[in-house]
Amino acid sequence: MNGPGPRALQVLVVVGPGAFGRSFAGWAARCGLEVRLVGRDLAHAERAVESIQSGWRAETAKGRMTPEEADLAAGLLRSAESLPAALAGANVLLEALPEALDAKVPFWRGLGGWEGLRLSGSSSIPMAELAIAAGLARPPLGFHGFVPMSRMGVVELVVPEDCEPGAVAASKRLAAVLHKQIVQVQDQAGFAASRMALAQGLEAMRLLEAGAADRDGLDALMSLGYGHPIGPLELSDRVGLDLRLAIAERLHAGSGQSAFEPPRILRELVATGRTGRAVGHGFYEWDAEGRKR
């Protein structure tokens, strides 16, 4: 694709090939960065790379990418056998592990003295809290992007106290390479984007519980009335109801604000395994291709 080249940001390691990690890695490769994707093992990372390339083939078939762009991006994206192998010669690391301290802390604790730009893709966990739990001398910066990275134009940059000198400037250079606007936010639970989106989603759930309107009507009010791309209940399914519940519990416990108290319907859906699009069931039903039925 056309645009600014990678400049000094040449080799990016993405740890965690979930939905956000795959989206981030694929977009970074399209933007000209060499990307190394790390999973639980090589097979896990290889499956993620194939998933990304399958998405590119679909984009090419729809005319959203040229075959030449897909070939160039494929040449820049590879799976890594191990974290040490991926980090050799790399200068940017993005952690995209599940949104839970018990997933993130062991990784950061074991990273050691690698020198480079350290970023976390966390959507709600404060960087200072992560640093304390992992025993880090300096916290990483939060670099919260939105899925799909190819279409979303902004990144939430979370800047904690005592971050590495020069890290903010380097993060902004990375955002420029990725063609994203930076919004710098305070290091607090939920940052800014998750707090706003979560509050709306939880209120929609309460209205559904109270019988104020049905599911489709509530979503239509926000999508057709306020111009949101999708309604808050559909968005919750896409994000994952288990993740929404975990963030709500964290914010409610930390702030005491009633806006973040998880509604009964959310707890019940998660308890019964109906956690959204990833499993095919949530507020909506979803097919194997992730399309709403």
Residue 4 pLDDT > 70? no
**How many Cβ atoms are within 10 Å of 250's Cβ, its own excluded?**
21
Structural domains for the chain = 11-185 (3.40.50.720), 193-279 (1.10.1040.10)
Map residue 81 onto helix, strand or coil: coil
DSSP state of 291: -
pLDDT of residue 21: 96
- pLDDT reported for residue 3: 38
> Looking at residue 2, what is its pLDDT?
39
Nearby residues of 96 by Cβ (< 8 Å), 6 or more positions away = 14, 15, 16, 17, 18, 20, 21, 24, 121
Choice among 89-93, 95-99, 112-116, 240-244 with the minimum mean pLDDT: 112-116
How does residue 165 score in pLDDT terms, banded at 50, 70 and 90? confident
**pLDDT band at residue 6 using 50, 70 and 90 as cut-offs:** very low
Confidence of residue 1 (pLDDT cuts 50, 70, 90): very low
Quote the CA–CA distance of 238 and 2 in Å, as a whole number.
30
Mean pLDDT of 138-150: 94
Q: What is the pLDDT of residue 8?
A: 58
Structure letter (DSSP) for residue 277? G
Q: List, in order, residues 6 or more apart from 215 with CB less than 8 Å away.
A: 208, 233, 283, 284
Per-residue pLDDT tens over the stretch 45-80: 999 999 999 999 999 999 999 999 999 999 999 999
- Name the token pair of 108: 């950061």
The rounded percent of the chain whose pLDDT value lies above 70 is 97
Lowest mean pLDDT across 36-40, 103-107, 246-250: 246-250
The H helix count followed by the E strand count for the chain is 12, 8
Pairing of strands 77-79, 34-38: parallel
pTM of the model: 0.88
The 3-class secondary structure across 93-132, one letter per residue, is EEECCCCCHHHHHHHHHHCCCCCCEEEECCCCCCHHHHHH
Whether 232 has a pLDDT exceeding 80, the answer reads yes
Q: Is 80 exceeded by the pLDDT of residue 9?
A: no
